[in-house]
Structure 1
Amino acid sequence: MGNIVVADNDLNSLSREQLIEEVIKLRDGIRKHRDSTGHELCWHHPDLWALLPEKTEPQIAVPEWPVFLKGCIRYRTSLDEQQPDAPRTAEGFKK
């Protein structure tokens, strides 16, 4: 088993039932992230990060527009490479 991060020491005090509850909560969060599609794939996911026990405000750095768009194009290209048969949609972003 890998090294336990200091923030994960709380797991040692949880009962079997509490550990199962935690695993279910984490799996639900991972599935929600995994099952996102369309424009949802481009967003950061604070709900996923909130599943961690340490409550911190993520310190994100936002790339300048040209760098950001280059990354979006690379990400979309990787989807073509990894999922060439995935259905395509022309649906626009909805807030």
Structure 2
Amino acid sequence: MLELKDFMPVNFLKKEKFTGSHQGMRFRMEKTEVEGEEKPKLGVCVWPEPYGYDATPKEEKEKILLEFDADGIAKGVDWLNEQFVAQASRWKAASRR
């Protein structure tokens, strides 16, 4: 399982995207400006290996928006772990390609 201690803090995410992978599941966290919202959000996305974010079709990606703060990052890690368990066969199939 993914652990919060392995993720970058808010100050890093203010300037850079954070990407990684875990047993066939790729993920990305980034600061996201949302139209009509005063404050930025934390965008969290998952998709199957083998391709990077830009090379993966939109329909293969799943995203959520959370508060852009330390609590949002913790909730994002929880969501990533939930996706890893809930879609285990998807990630296993991707890692065998």
TM-score by length of 2: 0.28
Q: Which has the higher helix share?
A: 1
Q: Answer with 1 or 2: which has the greater Rg.
A: 1
TM-score by length of 1: 0.28
